[in-house]
Chains A and B, each alone.
Chain A
Amino acid sequence: MTDLTNSTYAVDVQNLTVGYGSNVLMQNLNFTVNNGEIFVILGGSGCGKSSLLKNLFGLYQPLGGDVLIEGQNITTALGADRQKIMTSFGVMYQQGALFGSMNLLDNVTLFMEEYTELSQAQMDLLARCKLDLVGLLPYESYMPSEISGGMQKRAAIARAMALDPKILFLDEPSAGLDPITSADLDSTILDLSKNLGITFVIVSHELASIYAIADKVIMLDKGAKGIIAEGDPKVLRDTSKDPRVHQFFNRIMSKDAA
């Protein structure tokens, strides 16, 4: 789909330094996410995956470096330019972060109300389409507190897709889900990627899910404060010589590896 965008990469990260104040988590990261790709950021707990993600979509200001979303620099953009970039992607937070006082349908239509000129009935239909895509159509009038955690995550994906963004950032979509729900979610992601050409940037450490969906992964390490492996996850599993990467992909316990 070359006509979708004229920038080379969906996300282009240049010399990015991530951290909080003097606590530097990641240094001089460089990587690119191609259009239409399912890109997974992985690494052990506490290595800064979620922080990196929040820097990518502009929620936190990086300590250094630049992030280009479809060629637009989100770290320096201000005002209307920034808002324009912000509406070009959708975000699913780890806990779903649905608005507790609204039902699922209203959660999805909220952003449409702000940015489009559609009528209420038209927005409702659009929102039902999104909920149908994630298998939640029968639950449109439920409140977030009345559905399970897995359903909340799927509803959050539906909300992230409200404005048909080109890029979706998902923070641990399959964490805490049972294998069947998790597999369903994976197939939803694959469908959306294939049919809508959406680019996915996903933080995850669920191996089964990573093998099923990822076109490309980067692996972060706390000690190295950067990327220690990059590429196809299955290739990394079978060929990587790095003991940390080998250990992660083959689920070897630390004491056995030592």
Chain B
Amino acid sequence: MVPDRPPILQVRGLHKSFGHTEVLRGIDLVVAPQELVFIIGPSGSGKSTLLRCCNRLEEPTAGVITLDGVDLMARSTDINAMRRKIGMVFQSFNLYPHMTALGNVTLALRKVVGRSRTDAERLGMEALERVGLSAKARSYPSELSGGQQQRVAIARALALEPSVMLFDEPTSALDPELVGSVLAVMRELKRAGMTMLVVSHEMRFARDAADRVIFMDHGLIVEEGPPAQMFGAPKGERAKAFIAELTR
């Protein structure tokens, strides 16, 4: 386990409703620096919504979220500035199709952070290097495989030097043979000390990279623990049934 340190991300009493449907019904979650929290649960359990509330892509209905001690829900908080510290990787990559890989990675550096083109391109190349794609800097997304696109998307988030990274089913849209390259990049990030929240079904990755596994159901965290315990001997019936199904 990661040694005790002041938490980097704190979620307290998080609720989210879409109309009359309550998707999150009171989530409490504390994430330590450098921790990798792996979130599992049946579809519709609120995993993605929880992740999307953490950078307010989804506006929480109620609750408190703090990052590095800054209250993300406060009116006085500049949410755009805070989002730079929260890297997000999407299931469908969402690369900008009209820009090269390097263009994708450097756009926010140039237009949000205000770096010069030379500076941004140097940092962008470093980020592409980390995901093993510096050779593809001038390629457009449509010229890249799904796995490469997702790694560019990871580099786009990395380039802003986030304190936390959110992965929303990063490998679910990939052909099986391309999953490995993305997971390898995520393992490398974990080794380098990145704090990560991962929603995924890649159990093998969870077993050897996660510090903690969280099982969600019907908008609540039902059970949590280290991967060995969660996959070896889950306590609750629903967690048991779900994990049995996944590891079948």
Q: Do A and B come from one complex?
A: no
